[in-house]
Amino acid sequence: MAMPAAMPFHDYAAIPAINFSTLKHMSVSPRMYRHRLTHPEPRKRAWVLGGAIHCNVLEPDAFDARYLTPDPGVVKDLAPARNTKRGKLLIEEHPEWGTDAMTSDEYQAACVAAAFPGREILTAAQRAICIAAGDAVREHRAARDLLRGGLAEEVVTWTATDTGLACKGRLDYLRPDLVIDLKSTHDPSPERFARDAVKYGYAAQVAFYHDGAVRSKRRDGKRLPCIIAVRAGDDFDVAAFQIEPETFDVGRSIYLSLLRKLAECTAADYWPGVAPELWPLYLPPWAAGEIIDTDSSEDT
């Protein structure tokens, strides 16, 4: 039986609700959160590769329809150097392609993607990575068992209980009994991945998704989420992690704190930065031995 098609991302993005990818900017500052609402980060090549890995693992039948690996000659023709006449004309049409935030590789990918609407561009090497990562996950017994009996890229919407804020999530894989998140990583070993989980807020993210799935009555909530991590290169090693209650409670407290802060800032229409008040400046212990940068123009 064919699986139902996932909601197109542009339809999901149009839902007027808070997703975790935006909410996490509240951990920097409310000012950063508000800025990112109107100034989203440029789509990076690493994000394209991560999305392609997700597609090959979770929706392999859709991979070729979404991702294209064009001939190098086609790429060169569609993406002229930015300092050439043709390149400057393209940047006039797409000013964001000329910013320092977009690398040459990202500019090239944007040019080719514009010529093939609805598809993203992978190099031959990136395509091979996606295929190898998908094969590795399907060969891993625990990961393979987790990815059964559910739906990929499933959208859920809900209202947060204590703030009344509308929330949404695009879950990597949703079973009736379980939320599963897929991560591509440099190192899936348990100790290193635990550090990445802290750095990137993985526990808060999966707690947000889990509670959303329960609130929207898409799952029963008895089993806590799982994360599958695959190394995007080298040996394509895979690890599957069951979120423990202590980890889940920390993640839940983080995302609830961010939602409460967002509700307060919205009500007051006050969006402070990282240091809105007068702040004491202390030097670190090693400062006394540092050589002053004589090339600095900070005093001008």
- All structural domains of the chain with their residue ranges: 9-39+123-257
**What pLDDT digit, counting tens, does each position of 264-280 carry?**
999 999 999 999 999 99
* Longest Cα–Cα distance in the chain: 70
DSSP state of 18: B
Residue 187's closest CA among 117, 251, 237?
A: 237
| 9-39+123-257 fold | Lambda Exonuclease; Chain A (3.90.320)
Q: For the chain, which ranges sit under pLDDT 70? A: 1-5, 42-45, 296-300
**What pLDDT digit, counting tens, does each position of 178-228 carry?**
999 999 999 999 999 999 999 999 999 999 999 999 999 998 878 999 999
pTM for the whole thing?
0.84
Residue 138 confidence (pLDDT): 97
Cβ contacts of residue 206 below 8 Å, gap of 6+?
Answer: 179, 181, 225, 227, 243, 248, 251
